[in-house]
Structures are given as C-alpha cells and as structure tokens.
Amino acid sequence: MSFLNISKKRFLVCGLGNRRSVAWAVGQTLEEAGAEVIYTIRNDKRAGELKKLLKERPFLLCDVEYEDDIATLGERVREEYGELDGFVHSIAFANFSEGLVPFHETKRKDFLQATQISAFSLVELSRSLKPVLKPDASVVAIGISSSVTAANYGYMSPIKNALEGCVRFLAKSFSKDSEIRFNSVNAGPLRTKSSAGIPGYLDNYLYAEQLTYRKRALTTQEVADTVVYLLSPRSSGINAQGIVVNAGMDWNYFDESVVEKASRPELSRGNSDA
C-alpha cells in the first residue's frame, strides 16, 4: 500500500480547461497513485477541444453558471459512477474583456458573475454532491496565496477570499452529520493558460519568482501534489484550512536582491554611469 492510500478511490475533478490547468495536474497525479478520476467540463465545445487530451477518460458536462447543471450533477454521478471519496473545485472566471479598471470601478454584474462562478459554486456543488460523498470524503478548492493582492488581479482577490470563507463554513456545516473535510490550497502565481488572460500578470509572476526563497517559480505540479495529499486519508487531521503553497514568497518581501533593485533601479536596467 502506498503512503497516500488512494488506490481504487474515486474522485471528481471539477473545472478541467486545458493541459496546463491545475485540474489536469491534479487528475494526472491521482491517476498515477491508482485513483479513479472523473472530470467535469464546462460544455460540449470545451469537451471537443479536450478530446485528444482526455482520450477515454470519463467526464460529465457541468457549467456552474447554470443552476440546473449543478443541481443534477450529484444524481448523474450516482447513476454513472457511484459514490465519491472527494472532489476538487478548480473553477474561476473573471470578465476582463474591457481591460483592467480600478477596483472601485468594478461593475456589479461582473463582480456577481465572478463570485457565483469562482466562489459560491463550491457551495452549490457541495450541496449537489453531498448524497454521493462518502462520510469521510475530502473536498479541496484552489485558492490564491494571501499575498496575491496585486491591482492587476482585479476583483478576483476578494472573490478568492470569499472562496476560502466558503471552505470554512462548509467544513462546519457538513460536520453536523459527517466527517467530510473541506480545505483550500492557496497558490502563489502560476503560469497557466487562464492566468495569461489577466492584464499585466506576467510582470507580477516574474516578480513573485524573485521573492521566493529559491528564486524559482512555483509549479502547477507542486500545487497538485498538495491537493492530492489533502484528498488522501493521510491528511485526515486537516480541516477548514487554507494551505499556502508559494515557495515562501509571502515571508520574503525584503529579499536583499529585490530591495537593491528597487532602491537602485539602474541595476535592473544594466545601467552603469559611475
């Protein structure tokens, strides 16, 4: 038996979007450990785009923007696959089609849409899937490191904070009649396809890399490894927590090399007038 003890267990990974996504890395890691993985995909169009990637892997369509899609998901899982040992919420959306605006100029419809998709959908999915979750199942949501409050992340920072709040309240709510655990993995900046759509994200990503103790950016696989551990029985004592995975960047604001470049900008430009 492997350390994780998840062989033959069944997990639902919600929000597969592409090969570079956290959802795909989590699914692959689970499969490598011998687990059965079912994916949810937003719609038929996305499923067609992922056909070569998925091959014969099982999946269900579920667009969390539509209440009916979520409401029927639990029953569809039961009919086609049976009970679950846990599920992963790797879903986020923000409308940046009009470019980045100051936070106080965020439109109501954009904020509410992003909140429903990125945060409240965890509550809705948990409610729908509760009948098919085993009494000791584990649920993991993908959040962001508390240090990610950059202006160009826009209104997604407070929405991801709302997601983490939902995790804690779900843990309390489900504890009334089960030992189902809820946790989030709060990742530092990652190079994913979805992050590429955030205005100015690359500059912040490169800056965050310099703030890590190791001077090497966080990888999607490192986030996935933490998610899989939280899904496993080995993490049974962890509940209602936000596990930060960012290679130490939130404790390294005053890194000597970064401070030097900021206080002597000519160094970063390679300028030498002396």
5 within some domain: no
- Residues of the domain holding 58: 10-269
Sequence-ordered strand ranges (E) for the chain: 10-14, 36-41, 59-61, 84-89, 133-144, 181-187, 241-245
Q: Which residue has the higher pLDDT, 14 or 94?
A: 14
Residue stretches of the annotated binding site for substrate: 94
For the chain, what is the domain count? 1
> How much is the pTM?
0.92
3 within some domain: no
Q: Helix, strand, coil % (nearest 5) of the chain?
A: 45, 15, 35
Residue stretches of the annotated binding site for NAD(+): 15, 63-64, 91, 160
Flag whether pLDDT at 41 surpasses 70. yes
Structural contact between residues 114 and 156, judged by C-beta atoms closer than 8 angstroms: yes
Structural contact between residues 23 and 15, judged by C-beta atoms closer than 8 angstroms: yes
Q: Indicate which CATH number applies to the domain containing 215.
A: 3.40.50.720
Q: Which residue has the higher pLDDT, 2 or 152?
A: 2
User: Which pLDDT band holds residue 272 (cuts at 50, 70, 90)?
Assistant: very low
Q: Which amino acid is at 197?
A: G
Q: Give residue 18's pLDDT.
A: 94
2 within some domain: no
The residue with tokens 């090399």 is 257
pLDDT digits (tens, 9 = 90+) for 262-271: 887 665 555 5
pLDDT digits (tens, 9 = 90+) for 96-131: 887 778 889 999 999 999 999 999 999 999 999 999
Rg (CA), the chain: 20
4 within some domain: no
pLDDT digits (tens, 9 = 90+) for 217-255: 999 999 999 999 999 999 999 999 999 999 999 899 899
Q: Give residue 147's pLDDT.
A: 54
Residue stretches of the annotated binding site: 15, 63-64, 91, 94, 160
pLDDT digits (tens, 9 = 90+) for 200-221: 678 888 888 999 999 999 999 9
36-41 sheet: strands from edge to edge: 59-61, 36-41, 10-14, 84-89, 133-144, 181-187, 241-245
80 within some domain: yes
